[in-house]
């Protein structure tokens, strides 16, 4: 089967001293949920930016769908627009023939999916971090692409909210069949969510771990803990 994303000998340098990524060979299959982990500055965001098309490689090649959606760390919402308007904007920009009413109905559908219907008319500053991040996810889903990219989407949230959003993300992933590539700084989060964990090391792909534990995964299970420990040992080189 053709991979939906294919990176070949991909590299990104900002200048002679600053190599963010080098020699990345990676294929991602349709419907996979891949988590990227690595130390700070290892090139994770650069990798996602290249898959999204925000940034371009300086070496190698990339094959990917023309349009991909991205969820950022802090929601990246427009502060002077309501929750509904933030989602409506992307729908409007994609489907220019829709009436204003049809756009609103469509936007509301995505807010509902993220349990945000009651907050449609609120502005970002009136919402909690978790709610803002839900809007960021609703907006990315509204872009209606096969590939969903997420750059540390839950790292600013408390544990209970994160667990809640993990459950919702898995549900969405199962229902939509989207391909998800998510950067995480947490091994536990990566083991909770993904099919495959890619460790970025020395600015290239260091290790790849397939995760075969059935969903939903429980942090207390022996299988889960042994997987986390295995990855931690490699990650921390112990």
- Contact partner, 41, from Mg ion, ligand ADP, none, Cβ < 5-8 Å per class: ligand ADP
Q: Which one, 124 or 153, has the nearer CB to Mg ion?
A: 153
Binding mask 36-55 for ligand ADP (x = CB under 6 A): --x-xxxxxxx---------
Tokens of 146: 């096969």
Minimum separation from the CB atom of position 67 to ligand ADP (A)? 22
State yes or no: residue 18 binds ligand ADP (CB under 6 A).
yes
Q: Which one, 45 or 104, has the nearer CB to Mg ion?
A: 45
Q: Which one, 55 or 92, has the nearer CB to ligand ADP?
A: 55
- Site residue total, ligand ADP (CB under 6 A): 11
Q: Which one, 8 or 185, has the nearer CB to Mg ion?
A: 185
Which of 28, 37, 45, 172 binds Mg ion (CB under 5 A)? It is 45
State yes or no: residue 184 binds ligand ADP (CB under 6 A).
no
Strand partners, 197: 35, 209
State yes or no: residue 82 binds ligand ADP (CB under 6 A).
no
Interface with ligand ADP by CB under 6 A: which residues? 14, 18, 20, 38, 40-46
């Amino acid at each position: 089967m053709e991979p939906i994303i294919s990176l070949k000998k991909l590299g990104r340098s900002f200048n002679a001293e600053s190599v963010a990524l080098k020699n990345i060979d990676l294929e991602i299959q349709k419907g996979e949920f891949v988590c990227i982990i690595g130390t700070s500055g290892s090139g994770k965001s650069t990798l996602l930016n290249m898959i999204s098309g925000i940034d371009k490689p300086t070496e190698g090649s990339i094959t990917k769908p023309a349009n991909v959606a991205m969820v950022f760390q802090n929601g990246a919402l427009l502060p002077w627009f309501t929750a509904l308007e933030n989602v409506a904007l992307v729908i409007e920009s994609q489907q220019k023939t829709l009436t204003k009413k049809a756009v609103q109905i469509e936007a509301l559908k995505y807010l509902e999916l993220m349990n945000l219907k009651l907050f449609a008319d609120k502005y970002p500053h009136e919402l909690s971090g978790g709610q803002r991040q839900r809007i960021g996810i609703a907006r990315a889903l509204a872009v209606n692409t096969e590939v969903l990219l997420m750059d540390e989407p839950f790292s600013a949230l408390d544990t209970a909210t994160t667990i809640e959003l993990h459950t919702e993300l898995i549900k969405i992933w199962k229902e939509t069949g989207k391909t998800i590539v998510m950067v995480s700084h947490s091994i536990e989060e990566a083991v909770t969510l993904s099919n495959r964990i890619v460790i970025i090391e020395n600015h290239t792909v260091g290790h790849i771990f397939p995760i075969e534990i059935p969903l939903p995964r429980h942090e207390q299970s022996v299988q889960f803990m042994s997987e986390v420990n295995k990855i931690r040992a490699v990650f921390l080189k112990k």
